[in-house]
Copies of this chain bind each other. A is one copy, B any other.
Amino acid sequence: MGTIDLADLAARVKAGERRALARAITLVESARADHREEATALAAELADETHQALRIGLSGTPGVGKSTFIEAFGLFLVEQGLKVAVLAVDPSSARSGGSILGDKTRMERLSRHPLAFIRPSPARSHLGGVARRTREAVALCEAAGFDVVLIETVGVGQSETMVAGMVDLFLLLLAPAGGDELQGVKRGIMEIADIILINKADGPLKDVAMRTCADYAGALRLLRKRPQDPEGFPKAMMVSAVEGTGLEVAWEEMQTLAKWRREHGIWDQTRAEQAKHWFEEEVRQGILAQLTENKPLAARMARMGEEVAEGKRSPGDAASEILDALSGS
């Protein structure tokens, strides 16, 4: 990356330059120690930026039409003059070491729009790393003046919880399906979703979509009202990403929810709690990272691990020795 003029980069990010934003995100994605320091310094340069985007999390299993929805919803927003950033979180692609190819090709029209910014998943990282990178990328997009930051995650357990911990509202995208499938949606995700969108409410699937929507609306009414919701939320709605129907109503509902949360102090409170959580999480991740990054320590761990595997020492005894050495160093 060469030597970086961080003050200049920060100024260009604040001016909303997309190339500067892309470069800054590459910096926060890097695992290199000097890049980490620069990323922290960059964050400090941008700390006085108070612009807040509406941060939206979006989850849905493969096949529900997530890319088509983001393309349609993103275009709907930019056509109203709003600046939209899309970040993808995919620990499974991270695990296999490849980024989601085609994020931009799948959202071709949106990616070419001057008010839009699309960032595919980074390669190679663990969930903790993905969390930090995504959180910092969101902050960069806010500093760059984006109005909406959409964080897309695939439907696999922990990544939703992680994304829910860094957004203002959370959307769950579902395909039309029979009543039996209702049980298939994990309970946890129902509890973090603010708005459930039944996609593909078009053509031959429209009737199924209506029934599915009614099923979910019924299920949501059975949940206890959450303190962060006005009357009627969480709610289930129908959209068609292909036909573009339902997007305007969905956006109105998101704004209603966001406005209510702002007015009731929930927006600020949630962001404060999220920031505190990420601080604590970052300390935990940083401490654990020592175990692999501190080479002599990592070598000692590996050696003792072998002794434990061979039955020469008990796990507890070996762990005590490492922990004593760490606290004594």
Contact = CB atoms under 8 A, between A and B. Distances in A.
Interface in A274-309: 275-276, 278-280, 282-284, 286-288, 290-291, 301, 304-306, 308-309
B44 A308 contact: no
A39 B153 CA distance: 44
A40 B282 CA distance: 31
Given A183-B183, A309-B276, A314 B47 contact: yes
Contacts of A322: 283, 286
A320 interface: yes
A136 B288 CA distance: 23
Number of this chain's copies in the complex = 2
A319 B275 contact: no
A315 B40 contact: no
Nearest to A314: B43
A40 B317 contact: yes
Contacts of A287: 287-288, 290-291, 323, 326
Contact of A311 (B275, B291, B316): B275
A21 to B, nearest CB: 18
B280 A301 contact: yes
A141 to B, nearest CB: 15
B290 A327 contact: yes
A30 to B, nearest CB: 14
A287 B311 CA distance: 23
Contact of A272 (B44, B275, B284, B309): B309
A65 to B, nearest CB: 22
Contact of A308 (B276, B314, B319, B323): B276
Contacts of A280: 291, 301, 305
Contact of A310 (B180, B272, B283, B315): B272
B40 A320 contact: yes
A63 B184 CA distance: 20
Interface string A112-139: 0000000000000000000010011001
Contacts of A311: 272, 275
Contacts of A318: 279
Nearest to A305: B276
A142 to B, nearest CB: 12
Interface of A: 39-40, 43-44, 47, 132, 135-136, 139, 180, 183-184, 272-273, 275-276, 278-280, 282-284, 286-288, 290-291, 301, 304-306, 308-311, 314-320, 322-323, 326-327
The 5 A-B residue pairs with the shortest CB-CB distance, nearest first, are: A282-B319, A279-B315, A272-B309, A278-B315, A286-B323
